[in-house]
Structure 1
Amino acid sequence: MTDTTYGTRRTALVVGASRGIGLGLTERLLERGWHVVATVRSATRTPLHDLAGGGVDGLTIETVDITEADQVRALHERVAHATGLDLLLVNPGTAHDRWETVADVTPATFERVMLTNALGPMQFVERFQDLVRPTGTIAVMSSGQGSVANNTRVTGWEIYRASKAALNQLMRSYAARHPDDPRTLLLTAPGWVRTEMGGADAPLTVEASTRGVIDTIEANAGHGGLQFLDQAGATVAW
């Protein structure tokens, strides 16, 4: 992306939009007239590229691996030339074997999940927060499984749960360090969605989940402060 602006359109940067929930979030924003800069992890063709190839208006695709600092810095330089962001929406997500617990997970798997789901997203927020307008929103995709209070039964995804809880804690630390920041800060939970991870029995389609997430983001724009909300706009217990 080179020197350009997006006129009067609201502008969103959606990180992790190649498929699934990230792609759905991009589609919902485009339907509502946003200009969306959406990222993929590599140059390999994805469903996001298919969406762009369909002639959709207002979509720019960028490539970045959020765990690679050099790539994140380079993307910041490219996006900084454009109009300020109304929404920074970071959608991290990697998983592991569902029934793998802390008793048997390898250090390599633990590091990968934590790096992708917690450290990478928050370092991305730190790098890009200066591009978000004072009236804008910084939103990070968490999960209901990141709730410590609600972790009362065995459902699997133990390391994934830990990574999302870590993400939540890091976002709260970010908010504590920026008490006078007027921007809206959101951790969003998409619900149980029919994705590769969620499985065929999940009650929510990607379209329904992402419509709710974007409704929630738009409804809270300009409110300021940090909240942990689900796709229906309800507060999720920390």
Structure 2
Amino acid sequence: MSRRRALIVGASRGLGLGLVERFLARGWDVTATVRRPSAALAALAGAGPLRIETGIDIDDDAAVARLRAGLAEAPDFDLVFVVAGVATQAGTPAGLLPREVAGAVFQTNALSPIRFAESFHRRLAPDGLIVLMTSKLGSVSLNRGGGWSSYRASKAALNTLARSFAGQHSGAAWGLVLMHPGWVRTDLGGRRATLDVETSARGMVAVLEARQGQRGCVFLDYTGATVLW
């Protein structure tokens, strides 16, 4: 039986790094992308088949095209997981946020993951998955506190664009998962978060392995529970 193959986009640290470690532990072949060399990621090379692609920024269409060309001879992936995202000045109300900052957050968190999915969906094996890291903060119906407004809006936009993307490819032989990792102790989540990276990554990988072969677009958390749109 052939090994399953995952492409993890944005794996230098935090959840991306944790996902690489967990997929390797589960026997997957992993290709991981980073913008700059990561010693922590390189240290996982002995844990299993790991290919590292450096210089990949999802906001850079030329870099994504280079990645696609560089992987042209590689077998198709069973899972493509876009992890990369930002929370620049997330505590500043949207009405006070500089326009260029708001635009950059939207581009990285909402538009670039969809562009990456558009570029790579033909590299999915039958019954594979595209996974986009989102957040329950992007749920419109769950937004009662109003904080992190620009970040919330960017993730809500990602969820909407993902639904549109799935609809445009409704006959495809793959599924799409919008994944909420929980509140995790990372640079983005902060020290007060309730989950460590290992717990979140372990949960997400278990959910995604169980989801292999299923189609449609779903919004799930790291336990497999459905998140309200």
Which TM-score tier does this pair reach, normalised by the shorter chain? over 0.9
Asked if 1:49 is matched to 2:46, the reply is no
Which whole-Å CA distance do the structure 1 matches of 2:216 and 2:125 have between them?
15
**SS of 2:113 mapped into structure 1:** helix
Task: Give the structure-2-normalised TM-score.
Answer: 0.96
Which whole-Å CA distance do the structure 1 matches of 2:7 and 2:224 have between them?
21
Which whole-Å CA distance do the structure 2 matches of 1:116 and 1:194 have between them?
21
**SS of 1:103 mapped into structure 2:** helix
Paired residue for 2:138? 146
Paired residue for 1:176? 167
1:128-150 CA deviation, whole Å, 9 max, x = no partner?
00000121111111111111110
Alpha-carbon shift at residue 46 of structure 1 (Å): 4.1
Paired residue for 1:4? none
Kept in 2: contact 1:15–1:90 (CA 8 A): yes
**SS of 1:93 mapped into structure 2:** coil
In the TM superposition, 1:206-217 aligns within 5 A as 206-217=197-208
CA RMSD in angstroms, aligned pairs only: 1.3
Alignment-mate amino acid for residue 20 of structure 2: T
Which whole-Å CA distance do the structure 2 matches of 1:197 and 1:223 have between them?
30
Which whole-Å CA distance do the structure 2 matches of 1:184 and 1:45 have between them?
30
Paired residue for 1:26? 20
Asked if 1:35 is matched to 2:29, the reply is yes
Matched pairs, number: 228
Paired residue for 1:73? 65
Greater mean deviation of Cα atoms: 108-117 or 124-133: 108-117
Which residue of the other structure, out of 192, 204, 211, is the alignment partner of 2:195?
Answer: 204
Task: Give the structure-1-normalised TM-score.
Answer: 0.92
Which whole-Å CA distance do the structure 1 matches of 2:87 and 2:41 have between them?
21
Q: Indicate the percent of aligned positions where both proteins have the same amino acid.
A: 47
Kept in 1: contact 2:25–2:48 (CA 8 A): no
Which residue of the other structure, out of 111, 117, 133, is the alignment partner of 1:119?
Answer: 111
Kept in 2: contact 1:19–1:46 (CA 8 A): no
Listed as ranges, the gaps of 5+ residues in structure 2 are none
Greater mean deviation of Cα atoms: 96-105 or 185-194: 96-105
Paired residue for 1:62? 53
Alignment-mate amino acid for residue 112 of structure 2: G
Kept in 2: contact 1:28–1:211 (CA 8 A): yes
